Structure 1
Amino acid sequence: MKITGSQIVIECLVEQGVDTVFGYPGGAILNIYDELYKNENRIRHILTAHEQGASHAADGYARATGKVGVCMATSGPGATNLVTGIATAYMDSVPLVAITCNVGKSLLGKDSFQEIDITGVTMPITKHNFIVMDVKDLAQTIREAFAIARSGRPGPVLIDIPKDVTAAVTEFEPLKNPSDVDMLISRHKNIKRAVTLSEPDEGQLKMAAELINGAKRPVIYAGGGVKISGAEKELLAFAEKADIPVSESLMARDCFPSLHPLCTWMVGMHGTKASNMAITESDLVIAIGARFSDRVYGDSSKFAQHAKVLHIDIDPAEINKNISTDGCVVGDVKQVLAALLPMINAVKHDEWISQVQEWKKEYPSCYDKNPKDSINPKFICECINRIAGEDTFITTEVGQHQMWTAQFYPFSKPRTFITSGGLGTMGYGTGAAIGIQLAKPERRVVHIAGDGSFRMNCNELATISHYNLPIVIVVENNNALGNVRMWQRLFYGKRFSQTTLDFGPDWVKLADAYGIKGYRATNAKEFEKVFAEAFKSGKAAIIDARVDKDEMVLPMVPGGKPIYNMIMELSKEMMD
């Protein structure tokens, strides 16, 4: 049958199992939006307040479900407004397809109204991108884009379609054999990151097993790849059989039960003493689905100096990129751990585990559990967990509140902590919460934000209100860009340049403007009361939770220092 390019877009999205897209219309993409109108019974479109919100919502949808998230935007500024969201997905290996429409082919390259070379702009931050100049290539391009986005190490793919291509007519044949598409993606030589998968190499597995069985003080460094591959059960079985403590990157905080005796929580700049010291004193670091971020290793020359390093990752480009390894297994983490499990010995490392448990007891003493005129961040996490339960999704923006959540929230189930890791995108969490809530309407989302980050994309309150999404937003309000202020206190002579946010808005009044219930809490008792009320109402709510502007995120490793060089508490001189 002969159909238009816009109809092909719809048919291919349906083929790929897409039920929800996030976007914002404009002139160049009008043909596709006309087809979305005609097919609203097949694909749900969510209109966000801003294209960046659409990209973050698609990202959150993907992280919560494991499916490919989809966002759309028009040409020019519409397309460039997606860039931050695409980069966020790229850094955290999130499967995303962004569809943009450009000016007509005859207008390309002429600085036409709302023209932008969006494939050129996004080349460094996509796994691959396309501009479709012939409608005959459109269906195959869309199919390949989805295959690339979800295969191997996932990531974002962008498809740019000139407006006249969306109007052109061609013959369309429904997809018959999905595997044909997976075979065809290998023809694209410039795809970044791993695409195709193969069985783990037997030689690599044997060497890995020998390293693990020979270790006396092993430690696991789990990364976001555990979650992406769905290997949480395999990780648990692996750690328990070999009696190995598990430290986690920010992206893996929900990959291993927080209250499990072997869990040492987060590692790195704001990691626990147990995690940082376990890696420092170990004789084998087993990195699983992790990319050795600079926030994890600090001074690379002094990272795990007494240890051999075994790296398990799907992407061979990550091996020896930041930290030199003594062994590796390239492959899907779930498959690799399943293959390794029968090869490793069931042992006990009693002396080593006892030492790790001693480190776990050492925690900062500077947290006031009962401040009179503010709320302790640890209490906020404990209170939310107690009332909302373990099935609730927790999202964050980026900053102190994000680190407090990672440090204090006792995650126990996979894919319940969703945050921007690699790019550190302030303004990410509100859009992500929208995508998650729409993907999982039977569950609840609590969004923990800082006042600095939340103001960046609080326009998405319009989306939350319009679609009646029961998201509870907790704004940890310290009237400051808290993380930057903390660095200014410690390293810039307390010169608080442009980090004071004492000029509004009033979050309760803003909530009311969007038709959302607003609350304010200035102490622990008030917070517990209003959060319980907000959560149990089953409706959207904002809680302005007052946190002291000088509350710190500790432990802290100064930038570029060894991860054992931790600031555990502040001196009087630092606080005065």
Structure 2
Amino acid sequence: MKTVRLTMAQALVRFLENQYMEVDGAQHRFVRGVFIIPGHGNVVGLGQALSQEAKHLEIYQGKNEQGMAQAAVAFAKQMKRKQICVATSSVGPGAANMVTACGTATANNIPLLVLPGDTYACRQPDPVLQQVEHTNSLATTTNDAFKAVCRYWDRVVRPEQLMSAMINAFRVLTDPANTGAVCVAMPQDVEGEAYDYPVSFFAKRVWRLERRPATEAALADAAEAIRKAKRPMMICGGGVRYSEAHAEFLHFAEAFGIPYGETQAGKSATDWLHPLNLGGVGTTGCSAANEIARKADLVIGVGTRYTDFTTASKWLFKDTCKFVNINVSEFQSLKMEAVPVVADAKEALPRLEKLLEGYQTAYKDEVKVAKEKWIDELNRLDHITFSDKKSWKPEINDANADSAKRFAQDVNAQLTQTSALGAINAMMSEGDVAIGAAGSLPGDMQRMWRPTGVDTYNMEYGYSTMGYEVAGALGVKLAIGDKHEVYSFCGDGSFNMLHGELITACQEHKKINICLFDNASFGCINNLQVGHGNVTLCTELRYRNKDGLFGNFMNIDYAKVAEAYGCKSYTVRTMEELVAAFEDAKKVKNIPVLFDIKVLPKTMTDGYSSWWRVGDTEVSERKENLAAYADLQAHLKEVRKY
């Protein structure tokens, strides 16, 4: 057997260089690049290997370990899981910073490979810098924390172990049913140790995305269930986009007149104006989808995980409603006590359609009326204004109107969140991509957003990771290139948590557009807090006074922060300023743009007959808390049990 002597790290890089993905006969490199923050756990071993062995891999310098890994997640998501980037860190805190990103990847079934440095396998210098010593087991290191958020975990303590570790890592990374984060920990001494690796280990290796076919029995069961339904509804999940079953999903819906709602991951798979597209469904859904869902007698879920936001904590669909689930994951296909069809959507839908020949739903004008009603509401949301601040009281989410009025005075804000969002949406060009993750904006966007084209909506809402928005925008930009713009929608809370990769975007000459909605608060959680009977507590960004954090709202100049990094920035307080800034920003090339948009609190969208289960308190001195608890108990009488 022909061998080549390489260090473990050199062999790792050479292996990454030669991994390919094949989808429907077309091949491409599976690993695009590596995000790295060098430290004592990876700079000498893996750093040397990247310098020597990287021929095609693009190397990006991260600014925060979580941020660079989140960028890799967004990249893989935009690439429909068909290409990835790797993230590598030092030991200890650098490694721990990537744990959150791994949770993001695994919750959303997005492939992410992280390569954290680790303490010495030989243990001779222990305890080393940044090592956490566990008296119950010296084999435990910081990297064991990855086990709870990864689909596959390994630690290479001998150089020859790399081969089985990487084969299994890529087995998971390329498996659409079980993909997510993969952690391969690298003790820093082992990175530099050599082994005579078989040359065959570095040969071009092609990982095929196999389209799992449905069994005839499963399709027959599904067809029987659907034929019994009079008012079925489909749910377009992320699996539709990842399997590229856009046309098959739409053709199926059209063939039988079945309306459908969209999850956050499934949004932009089809045209939002399609007569059967009811829009977002569930807790952050719109009136059209939720009205039809409450009356549905069968739901056909395609590529969805049925999160609590999709099902409104299992309250949205009645107990009598049946389910058929088409999913590559057996685990996901069995949810909601469904008839399972474990298969790739692109393969299964056409075959199921043939079995249903002659079937039609019993809908008359209900879908058309529900959709027209929602489009009227969209128009209203686009044009809400509050010009007279002295007498102003919000008409939406007004549980804490006094705080909102105070913000308007302290910051001199005039814009409402829904009108600003609608205006930006209207000014974007065809093919531009929107990205978001946390706060109130994902709810507003699932309801209001009108995608500019197919697969132009990149919302991370499985883990709802604050800080994904800026880092993710960089990842999306790396995926789509310069042909289209990327617009990131984030609140001031998310921006303050993590925006270091804005510097990376400057460094890489990547124009990303950060739409920072500043309401000086964690607005979504403040709504949840006061809406369930509590007083405001640490959800607003105020100066401390004699009573606590109840002074004036902080008026932070985020535009200056971005300008200091090298971005083009704008401060926006009015619709006129927003329009002017947006049009001017279109002329900007090769540098990031930040819009510091001051928006009035409490101007988000309504709930539209949805519900979300939270832990309301059973005992309280406040009658408002007790009312919220009573409402919880009332809803629990109607929820599905599993």
Fold conserved between structures, TM > 0.5: yes
- Gap change, CA 1:392 and 1:353, over 3 Å in 2: farther
Partner of 2:434: 394
Partner of 2:317: 303
Q: Is the 8 A contact 2:381 2:418 kept in 1?
A: no
Residue matched to 1:468: 509
Q: Which amino acid aligns with 2:341?
A: V
1:334 corresponds in structure 2 to 346
1:380 to 403, 413, 420: 420
**1:425 counterpart (465, 473, 477):** 465
In structure 1, the residue matched to 2:395 is none
Q: Name the structure 2 match of 1:101.
A: 117
Of residues 549, 554, 566, the one that matches 1:515 is 566
| Stretches of structure 1 lacking an aligned partner (at least 5 in a row) | 183-194, 562-573
Which AA in structure 1 matches 2:243? S
Structure 2 counterpart of 1:8, one-letter code: A
* 8 Å Cα contact 1:227/1:414 also seen in 2: no
Q: Which runs of structure 2 are paired with 1:313-462 in the superposition (5 Å)?
A: 313-321=327-335, 323-325=336-338, 327-345=339-357, 348-349=360-361, 352=363, 354-363=365-374, 369-372=384-387, 373-411=413-451, 413-442=453-482, 443-462=484-503
Match of 2:518 in 1: 477
Equivalent pair of 1:486/1:552 in contact (CA under 8 Å)? no
Q: Calculate percent identity across the aligned residue pairs.
A: 25
Where does residue 25 of structure 1 map in the other structure? Answer: 38
Paired position in structure 2 for 1:533: 584
Shift of 1:346: 5.4
CA distance in 1: counterparts of 2:597 and 2:584, whole angstroms: 14
Q: Indicate if the aligned counterparts of 1:63 and 1:415 stay in contact, CA closer than 8 A.
A: no
Listed as ranges, the matches of 1:82-101 within 5 Å are 82-101=98-117
2:158 is aligned to 134
Per-residue CA deviation, residues 410-466 of structure 1 (Å, 9 max, x unaligned), is 115333211221111111111111111122223321111111111111222211211
The 3 A distance-change label for structure 1 pair 320 and 42 is closer
Return the match for 1:275 from 266, 276, 289.
289
Matched residue type, 2:363: W
Distance in 2 (alpha carbons) for counterparts of 1:292 and 1:137: 38
**TM-score with structure 1 setting the length:** 0.89
1:216 CA drift (Å): 1.7
Residue number among 512, 529, 551 corresponding to 1:488 in the alignment: 529
**Counterpart AA for 1:200:** A
Aligned to 1:218: 232
Distance in 2 of aligned mates of 1:114 and 1:247: 48
Residue 339 of structure 1: how far off its partner (Å): 2.4
Query: Which piece of structure 1 moves more, 496-505 or 400-409?
Result: 496-505
How far the C-alpha of 1:283 sits from its partner, in A, is 1.6
Superposition deviation, residue 241 in structure 1: 1.1
Do 2:471 and 2:499's aligned partners in 1 also have CA atoms closer than 8 Å? no
Q: Distance in 2 between matches of 1:377 and 1:273?
A: 19
Query: Are residues 200 and 28 of structure 1, via their aligned partners in 2, closer, same or farther at CA, if it must alter by over 3 Å?
Result: same
The question of whether the paired residues in 2 share the 8 Å contact of 1:132 and 1:160 is answered with yes
Deviation at 1:472, TM superposition (A): 1.0
Q: CA 1:535 to 1:353, structure 2 compared with 1: closer, same or farther past 3 Å? A: farther
- Counterpart CA distance in 2 for 1:244 and 1:288 is 13
* 1:92–1:108 CA distance, 2 compared to 1 (3 A): farther
Deviation at residue 387 of structure 1 after TM alignment: 3.0
Question: Pick from 516, 520, 541: which aligns with 1:500?
Answer: 541
**Structure 1 stretch displaced more, 305-314 or 469-478:** 305-314
State whether structure 2 residue 250 is matched by structure 1 residue 209.
no
CA distance in 1: counterparts of 2:452 and 2:459, whole angstroms: 16
Q: State the Cα deviation string for residues 332-385 of structure 1 (Å, max 9, x = none).
A: 222222322322235554x62511222234455677523335223333343333
Q: Which amino acid aligns with 1:530?
A: A
Aligned length: 546
Aligned to 2:181: 156
1:376–1:524 Cα contact (<8 Å) kept: no
Q: Which aligned segments of 4 or more residues in structure 1 are displaced greater than 6 angstroms?
A: none
When residues 301 and 543 of structure 1 are mapped into structure 2, their CA distance, relative to the original with a 3 A threshold, is closer
Secondary structure (helix, strand or coil) at the match of 1:369 reads: coil
Confirm whether residue 559 of structure 1 aligns to residue 619 of structure 2: no
Partner of 1:545: 597
Change (3 A) 1:55 1:7: same
Change (3 A) 1:108 1:339: farther
Deviations 1:45-99 (CA, angstroms, capped at 9, x unpaired): 1112100011101101101113133111111111100000000000000011111
SS in 2 for 1:205: helix
**1:120 paired to 2:144:** yes
Q: Is residue 194 of structure 2 the alignment partner of residue 169 of structure 1?
A: yes
Letter in 1 for 2:476: I
Q: Distance in 2 between matches of 1:85 and 1:138?
A: 23
Judged with a 3 Å threshold, the aligned counterparts in structure 2 of structure 1 residues 401 and 298 are, in CA distance, closer, same or farther, namely closer
Runs (5+) with no aligned partner, structure 2? 20-28, 133-140, 388-412, 543-552, 615-627, 629-642
Q: Contact conserved, 2:153 with 2:182, CA < 8 A, in 1?
A: yes
Residue 250 of structure 1, aligned match among 264, 280, 285:
264
CA–CA distance in structure 1, aligned partners of residues 418 and 313 of structure 2: 29
Distance (whole Å) between structure 1 residues aligned to residue 318 and residue 539 of structure 2: 38
User: Is this contact kept in 1: 2:118–2:143, CA < 8 A?
Assistant: no
Q: CA offset at residue 397 of structure 1?
A: 3.5
Deviation at 1:250, TM superposition (A): 1.5
Q: Which amino acid aligns with 1:80?
A: A
* 8 Å CA contact retained: 2:432, 2:452: no
| 1:60 aligns to 2:113 (yes or no) | no
Q: Matched residues in 2 for 1:108 and 1:259: separation?
A: 65
Aligned to 1:76: 92
Q: Which has the larger radius of gyration?
A: 2
